[in-house]
Amino acid sequence: MACGVFVPRAIRTLVLAVCLLLAPGSSLWAAEPARRIVSLDWGLTETLLALGVVPVAVADVPGYRGWVVEPALPEGVVDLGSRFEPNLEQLQQLKPDLILATPYQNPLKPLLEQIAPVETIAIYEEDASGRDSGNHPLERAVAATRHLGSLTDRQSEAEALIADTDALFLAARQRLETAGAEAHRPLYIATSVDERHVWLYARNSLFQDVFERLGLSNAWQAETNFWGFSSAGYDELADAPEARLLLLRPLPSGVEASLARNPLWNALPFVRAQRVALIDPVLMFGTLPASGRFARLLVLTLTGAPL
Amino acid sequence: MLASLSLRGRDSRALLPALFLLLLLPALAMAVHGLNDRLPMREWPALLAPHTLPQIIASASLLPRSLAALLCGAALGLAGALFQHVLRNRMAAPETVGTAGGAQLALALTTLFAPSLLDGGRVWVAFGGGLIAVALVFALAWRQKLEPLPLILAGMIVTLYCGALGSALILMNEQYLVSLFVWGSGSLVQNDWSAIRLLAPMLAAGMMACLVLLRPLVLLELGDEAARSLGVPLFALRAAALAVAVFLSTAVISSIGLFGFIGLAGPTLASFAGARTLRQRLLWSPLLAMALLWLTDQTVQQIDRLLGDPLPTGAITALFGAPLILLLLPQMKAHGGLWQGTVSVIRSAAPWRRVILLAMLVLAAAIVALCWGRGPQGWRWIGDLHELTPLLPWRLPRSAAALAAGGLLAAAGMILQRLTANPMASPEVLGITSGAAIGMISMLYIAPSAAGFTHVVAASAGALGVLLVILLLGRRSAFSPDRILLAGIALGALFDALTAVLTANGDPRAVILLNWTMGSTYRVDGAQATLTVGIAVVLLGLTPLISRWLTILPLGDGTSRSLGLSLGRTRLLLLIMTAAMTATATLVIGPLSFIGLMAPHLARMLGLHTVPSQMAGAILSGGLLMLAADWAGRMVLFPFQLPAGLMATLFGAPLVMWLLTRKR
């Protein structure tokens, strides 16, 4: 890039022309895999990293490190700022040749397309009819993995990631089966919003799909939004007395202490029976790597030993 | 309309209890039914010493929730009645004095910078923040002896400023502050008796204080002169009563959450139903507010069961509270004299030289905004046009649109301040910005993936809707300045409530919404910038034609008429022009900024006193402020970006507060 300034334009053009002529099947330039990829969504970022592709830049680096954790984001990946308002100047100057986005970034598309082609990959998407017709993020994440694999010419890595995740689910399922009935209690999987409210993941969520693959059941059966969660007060968690509660880290500050003093919380069946566990951060709106990480965290939590 | 139905004299004694029971009985029935669902009636005696889980849920969740609704309602109703009595303003409510904004900001700051304080101290943090905000509002309104309108305006500005700061914190820490959304929209969900135990003694103390103050407060009804001649220390009495009202409302806000309009609805219902004396109002306002909040909350619980997603009760109360204000407006007595502005005769020796200097400053700032910025290689000055060209599509539309929007708001503010002879008038206060915002938000939720152009249409429709409401309200009162301003405040509150409902369920779109309401120029593209600049050129080009009107209008209705001005038509034309300016600007920089309020004052401080030179100075300084705010917002937290409107608020609000305290 930088040295390009010093090479006279005529010579550069000549070299380029020669390259083009000599390249076998020069029309393949059109299908050249993208080299400088930018990802604006954490879920797509984690799949890219799992395929061995390091994006030039991603949106909200501190957020990724706090909420997604792994695959670890290498140093040197440029931060683009908010996922809702990625910094366009910064993006422009990085000269990407492909921008990956999700439907919630659709309003940005006209702006982004001025910089580079935008590939919108949908995992979580509101039904056009506005109805909840049922979404399976895991299936869509598998399709997204293949799609990203072909975009980056990592088809075999993509197939490997899909196969590895499948194998991981199978191994996890078997481990849970050997662990017996105790490991198969219905699970509430939730993010704590404050000391009175939780977001519960169920239908339409990645976590629900992972539960099904591992032979686990979700204790929360209520309707959810297209992100796969619904909001509830703690008192609504009493309907499944045999259930276990998994709370995702990080908890908002002060919540742990205030729950400990709370009579309703302390009377909930899973609290009385000490069936509450905090699990490490895992992206609730994630893709295949998040589903694998979630399965491993489940095995660790439910059997006490890592997979 | 309701008032015409209200009965007078002896009959009112029957009407008040009837209304109370009408609200209370359905609430009671729903509460009993809800409790019975969870716990069969024969087990109810066990609630005193609960053992089984259903018993504990009933005793630690359902009972305190009902009780919380009753206590909050009573405290807010009592506070509202006190506010209305002392401020002699039927529109005064706990929310209008800044408590809510201060409490929310204090909680956000503590969550981020001293989370350990929240552990057990959450209530006191919010309480402290609320009190500081109220103290600030009172300090700002002190010189006007806490008169009704200055106090409410000061309250609104402090609330906006706290809200802007709080929103900035939420934007910077999207995921950590979700709980503030929930709290801010007033959820009554309880898990134990701790909030009740905190609130009940505070309410009791407030009621005691009311009893003590009752006798001197009754004398206030005789009017200031009569009361003073009876030896009532008016100022001390007002301050004490306001302190009690503030105490009651902060207690609710800090222990449970925001239920702003309940404090307005209680006293309003009471007077509609015929409460005439202070004693009656202080008794029935809390009772009616209490029953109303309970009924609302029980209804919300029923809806929750159908929808699955819990609705925040406080936001629902606000949704019906705002229209209540609009309903009240026609009955407001217009304040005369209080805000009559003085026409200054001092003139700067060479005003136009200063205007030209200001214009050059704007030009220099524009060049800096285009050429200087941060990128992957850090801070860089890019002077080379060849290198700058690829960056211009990002920098130019935003800067140009910000400049144009700032100028438009400044001109709108200038017109409004002259039109209403009120130095605190501004397009933000008029409510046009809120109307545009409501239109835009509806579009964001109805058709989330719709293109930017539809947002423009939706926002314009919203602004136009507000304009129509204002015109309708205004025609009845010959565009009385105070009523128009208060209608604007009501629309602003409606917008807040709508935002609260939409953000409380944790929808990720809330962040986009927040960004836009805080005045982000992020989505401005070349087409929108061209449109904005084009409209700005046309509308601002028209301003020299209205100079004469703006010079004459502040002289008062009589003088204006005698100088041959048709008041109704002139005001209507000016309002339409202001609305068009405000709608165009709002689309770019959102509904909240103080540019329209500040710029005319800035121009005056620069020594520009004649209408044409003040107008030019206001437009230029408004544009300059917005341009600077937009640039700073893009640079301060790079690569994260802070919205321009928010930055302008952070720059400008302290200035506005200073203006408020200045002697007139």
Average pLDDT, chain B: 78
Residue contact A264–B56, C-beta within 8 A = yes
For the whole prediction, is pTM greater than 0.80?
A: no
Nearest to B376 among A93, A193, A234 (CB): A93
For residue A236, which of A282, A184, A190, A272 has the smallest C-alpha distance?
A190
Residue contact B391–A126, C-beta within 8 A = no
For residue B186, which of B252, B124, B259 has the smallest C-alpha distance?
B259
Residue contact A264–B309, C-beta within 8 A = no
Residue A292 has pLDDT above 90, yes or no: yes
pLDDT in tens, A67-122: 898 899 999 899 998 888 899 988 988 999 999 999 888 878 888 998 999 999 98
Contact of A207 with B482, CB cutoff 8 Å: no
Residue contact B61–A233, C-beta within 8 A = yes
- Per-domain residue ranges for chain A? 32-121, 162-303
Confidence at residue B592, expressed as pLDDT on a 0 to 100 scale: 67
More confident residue, B350 or A131: B350
Core vs surface per residue A190-205: b (16+ CB within 10 A) or e: bbbbbbbbbbbbbbbb
A243 touches chain B (CB under 8 A): no
B661 touches chain A (CB under 8 A): no
B294 touches chain A (CB under 8 A): no
Confidence at residue B311, expressed as pLDDT on a 0 to 100 scale: 67
Task: Assess whether the previous peptide bond of B481 is cis (omega < 30° from 0).
Answer: no
CA atoms within 13 A on the CB side of B27: 23
Q: Is A32-121 assigned to CATH 3.20.20.70?
A: no
pLDDT band at B510 (very low <50, low <70, confident <90, very high): low
Nearest to A194 among B182, B449, B509 (CB): B182
Q: What is the CATH number of domain A162-303?
A: 3.40.50.1980
Element (H, E) at B264: helix B262-272
CB contact residues (below 8 A), chain B span 149-168, against chain A: none
Residue B345 has pLDDT above 50, yes or no: no
Residue contact A104–B391, C-beta within 8 A = no
CA gap A180, A163 in Å, rounded: 26
Residues of B in contact with A231 (CB under 8 A): 309-310, 505-506
Nearest CA in chain A to B639: A81
Mutation site for A-interface testing, chosen from B107, B125, B391, B394 by largest number of A Cβ within 10 Å: B394
CA gap A244, A186 in Å, rounded: 6
pLDDT in tens, A8-43: 444 544 445 444 444 444 434 444 556 899 999 999
pLDDT in tens, A160-169: 999 999 999 9
Residue A271 has pLDDT above 70, yes or no: yes
As given in the structure block, the two tokens for residue B523 are 């989505």
| Over residues A275-285, mean pLDDT | 92
CA gap A224, A203 in Å, rounded: 6
Q: Could you tell me what percent of chain A has a pLDDT over 90?
A: 48
CB contact residues (below 8 A), chain A span 117-136, against chain B: 126
User: Which domains are seen in chain B, by residue range?
Assistant: 2-331 (1.10.3470.10), 359-425+507-661 (1.10.3470.10)
Contact of A245 with A266, CB cutoff 8 Å: no
CA gap A237, A269 in Å, rounded: 9
Confidence at residue A27, expressed as pLDDT on a 0 to 100 scale: 39
Helices of type H across A95-232: 109-112, 137-151, 155-179, 206-214
Confidence at residue B182, expressed as pLDDT on a 0 to 100 scale: 47
| Over residues A170-199, mean pLDDT | 88
Nearest to B179 among A103, A194, A222 (CB): A194
pLDDT in tens, B297-311: 888 888 777 765 566
Average pLDDT, chain A: 84
ipTM at complex level: 0.74
Across B246-255, B308-317, B536-545, the highest mean pLDDT is recorded for B536-545
Element (H, E) at A100: strand A98-101
Residue A4 has pLDDT above 70, yes or no: no
Confidence at residue B248, expressed as pLDDT on a 0 to 100 scale: 86
Q: For B16-37, give the DSSP string.
A: HHHHHHHHHHHHHHHHHHHHHH
Core vs surface per residue B369-396: b (16+ CB within 10 A) or e: bbbebbbeeeeeebeeeeeeeebebbbb
Burial group, residue A181, by CB count within 10 angstroms (0-12, 13-18, 19+) = exposed
pLDDT band at B2 (very low <50, low <70, confident <90, very high): very low
CA gap B165, B152 in Å, rounded: 20
Contact of B629 with B402, CB cutoff 8 Å: yes
Nearest CA in chain B to A95: B390
pLDDT in tens, B362-413: 999 999 999 988 887 788 888 888 888 888 888 899 999 999 999 999 999 9
For residue A226, which of A102, A40, A82, A42 has the smallest C-alpha distance?
A102
Mutation site for B-interface testing, chosen from A36, A84, A132 by largest number of B Cβ within 10 Å: A84
B174 touches chain A (CB under 8 A): yes
CA gap B166, B499 in Å, rounded: 14
Residues of B in contact with A5 (CB under 8 A): none
